[in-house]
């Protein structure tokens, strides 16, 4: 079975007096997207204590780029619940048909960008409450 990939982003981060820019795929990952469903590209802001996800994508993997913050990631692997407490920028690969959820455990809003790999079937997203 494919496993959820959690990659701390240490390369590809640039900051100066104007702000920051992030290029998370410059980190030299062993796994990269197989194709991007651009219609699935979305930015998300989650308030402290807020939960996002509680779903799965039956036909496509999803990539999440979380820029900073403190959060818990929950997912299901081989029928059992898994979790990780994370801080700082991370790139997360969620295999197709894997239930996943994110909770902002920090004191400030959490920002992420997400997209799915190209899928051939429907439905794109189905509920799968973990938290």
pLDDT at 1: 54
Residue 41 scores a pLDDT above 60: yes
Q: Strand, helix or coil at 25?
A: helix
Residue 19 main-chain phi, psi, to 5 deg: 140, -140
Over the stretch 57-91, which tens digit does the pLDDT of each residue have? 998 899 999 988 999 999 999 989 999 999 989 99
Q: How many domains does the chain have?
A: 1
Residue 22 scores a pLDDT above 70: yes
Domain hosting residue 24, numbered range: 5-127
CATH classification at residue 15 = 2.60.120.10
Over the stretch 112-122, which tens digit does the pLDDT of each residue have? 999 888 766 65
pTM exceeds 0.95 for this model: no
Q: Strand, helix or coil at 26?
A: helix
């Amino acid at each position: 079975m494919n496993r959820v990939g959690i990659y701390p982003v240490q390369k590809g981060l640039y900051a100066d007096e104007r702000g920051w820019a992030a290029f998370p795929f410059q980190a030299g990952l062993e796994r990269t997207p197989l194709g991007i469903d651009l219609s699935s590209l979305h930015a998300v802001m989650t308030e402290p204590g807020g939960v996002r996800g509680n779903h799965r994508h039956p036909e496509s993997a999803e990539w999440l780029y979380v820029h900073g913050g403190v959060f818990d990631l929950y997912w299901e692997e081989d029928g059992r619940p898994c979790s990780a407490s994370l801080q700082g920028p991370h790139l997360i690969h969620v295999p197709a048909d894997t239930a996943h959820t994110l909770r902002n455990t920090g004191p400030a809003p959490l920002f992420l960008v997400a997209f799915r790999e190209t899928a051939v079937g429907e439905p794109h997203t189905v509920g799968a409450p973990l938290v």
